[in-house]
Amino acid sequence: MIFPFGNHYKRPVDQLYQAIAESMMEPSVTRERHTFLCYWKDDPNDVTGHMELAFRAMKTNRELYKKLSKAEKRGDIPPDLNGEALVAAALEAKIVDAAEAESLQACEALRITAVAVDQFAPETLRRKPKEAR
């Protein structure tokens, strides 16, 4: 296409980009249309499955995470916890009950696995002692 008098069009506004991103972060028709051909196995140990399972678990437990966020702001639980420590602190502070803690524990395990993207084995990252000269 040739634009002899310049490129006369307006870029989409940031609100449009934000709306598209938000629609992709919710289980919706838009997200389904973009991901329906993506293969993933319904198994948390499978590479293709743990990201989707973590996404769904986070959406399912959204209200629990809101409760935890409010508890952190009030000072009921420390703000720097995650995983088992977060669940234990929330249970001890009576922010969640046993059933919610179990659901939160499973969600945290999936979430931590999903964000642990280091490709290297831990032993390759350790510093080797310097050899004596």
In a domain, 71, yes or no: yes
Number of domains in the chain: 1
Which residues span the domain enclosing 89?
Answer: 39-115
**What average pLDDT does range 39-47 have in this prediction?**
84
In a domain, 49, yes or no: yes
pLDDT recorded at residue 27 = 83
In a domain, 92, yes or no: yes
In a domain, 26, yes or no: no
In a domain, 33, yes or no: no
In a domain, 130, yes or no: no
CA neighbours closer than 13 Å in the CB half-sphere of residue 54: 17
In a domain, 19, yes or no: no
In a domain, 1, yes or no: no
**What average pLDDT does range 100-114 have in this prediction?**
92
**What average pLDDT does range 95-107 have in this prediction?**
94
Residue pair 57/116 in contact by the 8 Å Cβ criterion: no
pTM across the whole model: 0.69
pLDDT at 130 over 70: no
The crossing angle, in degrees rounded to 10, of helices 50-60 and 98-115 is: 140
